């Protein structure tokens, strides 16, 4: 709360600055940095071979710079900016219609601490604009520690049993898009996929803002 108050006070008295390079400019970005945030959709096959991953940005440079304060300093204003950078349509979006768009969840303790699920901030409006169904149908039941310093094997051990499906969902025959902010090793989405395949879903695609 104090951080937010201080930031609001400084925003009120200081000239407007670019979110990326801090140059004095109309926010969110100066003209030069604006050119660095052009989405280029890329398709990657998950190592499991069972689904593809679609990502709008590489996790480096400006996107990495913006995601860090968005997630860890509760900068929802940055999340709003990133969400607007996700194009509604793209000629390289070649997968078929999606029935349910499901975000990767936070554990309730982490959600309370952060104040929001960053995946919802990034994608809820995007899915609404596509006139599709956004369902928070997966729950995180294990409060795992941060994963970024772990190896792939350690991530998979840590995430084992971390999720459960909403028992009220009927997923048989449904085409599912699983949403996340960053695809790193794929351990998180593969752990959730283990719950989805036994439900006889028709297909699974993973869509992320960025990929490492």
CB crowding 67-92: b at 16 or more within 10 Å, else e: beebbeebbeebbebbbebbeeeeee
Instruction: State the residue for tokens 């509604």.
Output: 88
pLDDT of residue 13: 59
Neighbours of 18 (CB within 10 A): 18
Residues 200-209: tens digit of each pLDDT: 999 999 999 9
Look at residue 144 in the predicted model and tell me its pLDDT.
Answer: 94
- 183 Ramachandran zone, left/alpha/beta (phi>0; psi -120 to 50): beta
pLDDT tens column, 135-163: 999 999 999 998 888 889 999 999 999 99
94-112 per-position pLDDT tens digit? 667 899 999 999 999 999 9
Closest CA to 122 of 168, 74, 84: 84
Q: Where are the domains of the chain?
A: 1-35, 37-211
Give me the pLDDT at residue 12, please: 57
Each residue's pLDDT tens digit, 51-87: 999 999 999 989 999 999 999 898 999 999 999 999 8
Model confidence at 198, pLDDT cuts 50, 70, 90, reads very high
pLDDT digits (tens, 9 = 90+) for 107-128: 999 999 999 999 999 999 999 9
DSSP labels for 54-75? EEEEESSHHHHHHHHHHHHS--
Q: What is the pLDDT of residue 135?
A: 97
Give the rounded percent of residues in the chain with a pLDDT score beyond 70: 90
DSSP H helix total and E strand total for the chain: 8, 8
Residue 134 CB-half CA count within 13 A:
17
Q: Rounded CA gap, 54 and 45, in Å?
A: 9
The second-level CATH assignment, the architecture, of 37-211 is 3-Layer(aba) Sandwich (3.40)
Q: Give pLDDT, residue 162.
A: 98
CB 105, CB 123: distance < 8 Å: no
Roughly how many angstroms between the first and final C-alpha of the chain, as a whole number?
Answer: 31
Average confidence (pLDDT) over 15-43: 86
């Amino acid at each position: 709360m104090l951080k937010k108050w201080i930031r609001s006070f400084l925003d009120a008295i200081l000239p407007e600055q670019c979110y990326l390079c801090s140059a004095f400019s109309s926010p969110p970005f100066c003209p030069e940095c604006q050119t660095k945030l052009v989405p280029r959709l890329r398709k990657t096959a998950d190592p499991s071979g069972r689904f593809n991953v679609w990502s709008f940005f590489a996790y480096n440079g400006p996107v990495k710079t913006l995601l860090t304060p968005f997630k860890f300093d509760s900068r929802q204003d940055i999340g709003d900016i990133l969400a607007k950078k996700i194009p509604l349509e793209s000629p390289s979006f070649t997968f078929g219609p999606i029935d349910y768009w499901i975000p990767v969840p936070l554990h309730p303790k982490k959600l309370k601490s952060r104040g929001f699920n960053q995946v919802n901030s990034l994608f809820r409006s995007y899915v609404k604009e596509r006139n599709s169904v956004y369902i928070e149908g997966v729950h995180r039941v294990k409060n795992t520690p941060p994963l970024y310093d772990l190896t792939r094997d350690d991530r998979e051990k840590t995430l084992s049993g971390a999720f459960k499906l909403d028992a009220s969902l009927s997923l048989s025959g449904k085409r599912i898009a699983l949403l996340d902010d960053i695809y790193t090793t794929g351990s998180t989405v593969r752990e959730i996929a283990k719950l989805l395949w036994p439900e006889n879903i028709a297909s699974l695609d993973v869509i992320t803002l960025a990929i490492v």
